[in-house]
Amino acid sequence: MPAGVLPSAPPPAPARPSLLSRGRRWGVLVLAVAQVLAAVVATAAGGGRPGGTGGSDLLITPAGYAFSIWGVVVAGCLLYGVHQLPAHRGDEPALRRVAWPLMGAMAGFTAWLVVAATAPAWATFAVFAVMLALLVAAYSTALRHRRLMGVPTRLLLIGTLGVYTGWSAVAVPVNLASALAELGLPTVGAGAAAWQAGVLLLALGAAAGVVARWRARAASTLAAAWGLLAVAFGAGAREGGAVLAALAAVGAVVLLGWAVWSRWSDLRRRVEASTVRLGRGPVV
């Protein structure tokens, strides 16, 4: 080594992930696995409907096929849990912020299935409502920080949360209907159709809120429309449910039309804004 030249210091060793970091990332994966296991057990016990609705005699019980969307949800969460496990990815600021409400929602899903099998319908509704609130927080956080994520992470996380939140927004009022029926409201006749129409309007309002709050994002909008169409087919197959079926079907069509118009309007505004900016060149 030439005289007067100090030896260079070795590069610092990369910092090891903290215990909190490892716990957070593994917590997301473990709870995603718990969702899968709980859904498998509940589906086997509930005839293909994890969690069910607490009352299959309701006019607004969704058609059986609709519950297959839970498979999309739990599979998406599991894939994301594996995807975010490496520290270089799971410790990104955006994913750290999403992790806590997402873990709460997944824990809520598992608890919801347990409560649905062991407790009154009002308890199931209460758990599901809390779960929806956590999903709203997780989905909103993911969308707010989406530009900080890589494309694969963005598609997987936002797509999964969109389906999870959009479907739950419609399913929670159906769970409310189960609780009200258990408390003594009629399940047959004109009285049943009347009060369940009120619950259906609540579900339509929740679906509209999904479109308005998140500017017609595809995953959440399609999941909410899926729930409304499932209610339409379920009500149409029951005696006295024709009016409710028509209301749900029209609501789903209007929802999709509104979402398409909203996205088109948004795209047009962006194009016009870009054209204006490009037209402002330097004055010669």
> What's the confidence (pLDDT) of residue 214?
95
Cα distance between residue 21 and residue 84, in whole Å: 11
> What's the confidence (pLDDT) of residue 8?
58
Q: Which helix (H) or strand (E) covers residue 28, if one does?
A: helix 19-45
Q: Which helix (H) or strand (E) covers residue 245, if one does?
A: helix 242-279
Q: What percent of the chain has pLDDT over 90?
A: 79
Which two three-digit tokens encode residue 184? Answer: 């003594």
- The DSSP secondary-structure symbol of 39 reads H
Sign of the CA dihedral running 154, 160, 161, 167: positive
Which two three-digit tokens encode residue 73? Answer: 């949800």
Cα distance between residue 116 and residue 103, in whole Å: 20
Nearest Cα to Cα of residue 84 among 70, 98, 74: 98
* Maximum distance among all Cα pairs of the chain, rounded to whole angstroms: 100
Task: Say what the pTM is.
Answer: 0.89
Kindly report, residue by residue over 230-275, the tens digit of the pLDDT.
999 999 999 999 999 999 999 999 999 999 999 999 889 888 887 7
Nearest Cα to Cα of residue 152 among 98, 80, 93: 80
Is the pLDDT assigned to residue 198 strictly greater than 50?
Answer: yes
Cα separations in angstroms, 119 against 41, 112, 245: 17, 10, 29
Kindly report, residue by residue over 86-127, the tens digit of the pLDDT.
999 999 999 999 999 999 999 999 999 999 989 999 999 999
Cα distance between residue 50 and residue 41, in whole Å: 8
Kindly report, residue by residue over 176-189, the tens digit of the pLDDT.
999 999 999 999 88
Region 62-80: mean pLDDT is: 96
Cα distance between residue 83 and residue 89, in whole Å: 8
CB 133 within 8 A of CB 59: no
Cα distance between residue 163 and residue 139, in whole Å: 10
Burial (Cβ within 10 Å: 0-12, 13-18, ≥19) of residue 15: exposed
Residue with tokens 């057990």: 41
> What's the confidence (pLDDT) of residue 202?
97
Cα distance between residue 176 and residue 123, in whole Å: 10
101-113 in b/e form (b: 16+ CB < 10 A) is bbbbbbbbbbbbb
Sign of the CA dihedral running 49, 54, 56, 58: negative
Q: What percent of the chain has pLDDT over 70?
A: 88
